[in-house]
Structure 1
Amino acid sequence: MKDTALVTGASSGIGVEFARQLAARGHDLVLVARSVERLESLAEELREAHGVRAEVVGQDLAAPDAATRVAREVAARGLTVGLLVNNAGFGTAGRFEEIPAGREHDELMVNVVSLVGLTHAFIPGMVARGGGAVVNVGSVAGFHISPYLATYAASKTFVLNFSLALWAEFRGRGVKVLAVAPGPVETAFFDVLGTKEATMGARMNTPEQVVRSALHALDRDRGYVVPGRGNFGMAHLMPRRPRKLITLIGRLVTKRVAETSSPEVRGDAAARAA
């Protein structure tokens, strides 16, 4: 068997697909999310299909001590994590003054704080053993300044820059770090965000495509990957200067988000994909 892989946000979308493809590669799994019932169903599927060990840890990653709780639970079960997939995350959209501050606090806790905390929890062991990997799921939004998606896009910029910095730090030390920056993906993300209409006409990747690209890039220690040719162009061909002009141009596109998301969805109904 290969190293145990821990996948956050494993109850839906990209997280489920990471679990399936990693199990097919022979990895034992630790599946982390809030939705224990869905995790148990996936764990049973992976055990039967691939003969791997699949453990379930129910945890809300918005909690201040979430990373510590997950790490303690993994240690209590006698598991050694050699591959960490920080996939859990969610977004808020709309006019900044209308988005509840508590929702954006939870968004940063899941997208940034828990991601860093889990990386801190497991990378030292990887370094000591001389091998391991961390995959952080960001977004193509992390390459841009995005009005009406301000906190979400900024959190994904952090994920990209944080991951690339660690990639450089650990080169030659046996530990790989990869940032995955997908564009729109066929998951429930936009449904729970309340912006499905704003994505109509966009070319969507499937979770299978995203994870396949991510694992291919990880095998080659690429540092980061933007799945899909169109998304790669969107990430790299738009000029970065002058920043204010590019931001105002981006506003014309992202304004659709504010116009299509309801106050209810911007509030408590903006469910976490964690």
Structure 2
Amino acid sequence: MARIISLFKHNIMSYALVTGAAKGIGRAIAAELAAKKYSLLLADIDGPGVREVAGTLSKQYGIDAQYLQTDLSQPGAADQLKLWTGGYHQLLNVVVNNAGYGLNGRFEELSLSSQLNIIDLNIKTQVAVSHAFIPILRSFPQSYLLNVGSTTAFQSVPYLNVYAATKAFVLSFTRSLRHELRQSPISVSCLIPGSTDTDFVNRAGMGAGTLRIASRFNMTPESVGKTAVQGLFAGKAEIIPGFTNRLNAFLPKFFPKAFVEKIAAGIYRPRPEEPLLKPVTGHV
């Protein structure tokens, strides 16, 4: 209680929780929130990275920023996160479920444990965090929950199949949850970014050819983060940054699925002459 009273005296009125905040879209969203004078609770598997983000944003924007190094894919991670944020629940009215990753390759050649870990982080953790923090968000006159999906949610994506399937789940889950909470003070949104200039492609183990294709359509994390926060506070159901991404979300429904899958396979198919970068699992 003394901590909360001290924060009110310093005019720090609201906190936001952001997972996967050490880099990329998560970091950009955290920076946008900090610019709006939200203090931050940041979590990521990358301890040095999330510590640096907390220090930088605290100094730059004059806000309080706390961080937690944790592997959110592990059982009980959501409970740990809720316990860690316990002293801030009376001020915590924004939760951003950003942590997630994918692997690029043939399903049978990628390890089963790695692919199940994608499901653990992208689906189980997002559901668990949402469930843990909804009761906290209900206590405010207005609060916000943002789940991060992907434009891969709108189609099947060979060679990125588990990741795309998890993001289809995220979109369906978030829209359903939004409807259930429509008469509550919680505004639920799904951020649906496309190709973004982050470390995701390296973590996914994408080859040089895929990287070249993706670079033609890349948005910066900062532009995605700005659009995400604007859409969140505007109460949008789906936030799709960039005209090309909105087009990619709209067009697949008008073409045969086999045709759309063939196009996607041509982009993400591992090429023998361009070996995959070594996959590195982690949060993005």
Q: What TM-score comes out, normalization by structure 2 length?
A: 0.88
Which of 168, 180, 200 is the matching residue for 1:189? 200
The alpha carbon displacement at 1:246 in A equals 1.1
Tell me, what secondary structure is at the counterpart of 1:238?
helix
Cα distance 1:76–1:219, how it changes in 2: closer, same or farther (>3 A)?
closer
Tell me, what secondary structure is at the counterpart of 1:239?
helix
Cα distance 1:248–1:99, how it changes in 2: closer, same or farther (>3 A)?
farther
The alpha carbon displacement at 1:252 in A equals 4.0
2:115/2:162 contact within 8 Å kept: yes
Which residue of the partner structure matches residue 231 of structure 2?
A: 217
Mapped to 1, the partners of 2:82 and 2:39 lie a distance apart of 16
Which residue of the partner structure matches residue 144 of structure 2?
A: 133
Mapped to 1, the partners of 2:88 and 2:194 lie a distance apart of 36
Cα distance 1:171–1:77, how it changes in 2: closer, same or farther (>3 A)?
closer
Cα distance 1:249–1:237, how it changes in 2: closer, same or farther (>3 A)?
closer
Which residue of the partner structure matches residue 205 of structure 1?
A: 219
Mapped to 1, the partners of 2:165 and 2:264 lie a distance apart of 17
* 2:95 is the counterpart of 1:84: yes
Which of 155, 159, 162 is the matching residue for 2:170? 159
The alpha carbon displacement at 1:254 in A equals 2.0
2:20/2:100 contact within 8 Å kept: yes
What is the percentage of aligned positions where both structures have the same residue? Answer: 29
Cα distance 1:111–1:132, how it changes in 2: closer, same or farther (>3 A)?
same
Mapped to 1, the partners of 2:60 and 2:150 lie a distance apart of 30
Query: Please, which moves more after superposition, 212-221 or 115-124?
Result: 212-221
Which residue of the partner structure matches residue 180 of structure 1?
A: 191
The alpha carbon displacement at 1:161 in A equals 0.9
- Consecutive unaligned residues in structure 2, runs of 5 or more: 1-11
1:146/1:153 contact within 8 Å kept: yes
Which residue of the partner structure matches residue 19 of structure 2?
A: 8
Which of 18, 31, 48 is the matching residue for 1:37? 48
Tell me, what secondary structure is at the counterpart of 1:98?
coil
Tell me, what secondary structure is at the counterpart of 2:269?
helix
Mapped to 1, the partners of 2:229 and 2:67 lie a distance apart of 22
Which residue of the partner structure matches residue 99 of structure 1?
A: 110
Mapped to 2, the partners of 1:17 and 1:198 lie a distance apart of 24
Which residue of the partner structure matches residue 270 of structure 1?
A: 280
- Consecutive unaligned residues in structure 1, runs of 5 or more: none
Query: Please, which moves more after superposition, 121-130 or 255-264?
Result: 255-264
2:16/2:95 contact within 8 Å kept: yes
RMSD between aligned alpha carbons?
A: 1.9
Tell me, what secondary structure is at the counterpart of 1:122?
helix
Aligned residues: 268
Q: Structure 1, residues 194-231: CA drift from partner, whole Å, max 9, x if none?
A: 22521424311111111111112112211111111111
Q: What TM-score comes out, normalization by structure 1 length?
A: 0.91
Cα distance 1:84–1:253, how it changes in 2: closer, same or farther (>3 A)?
same
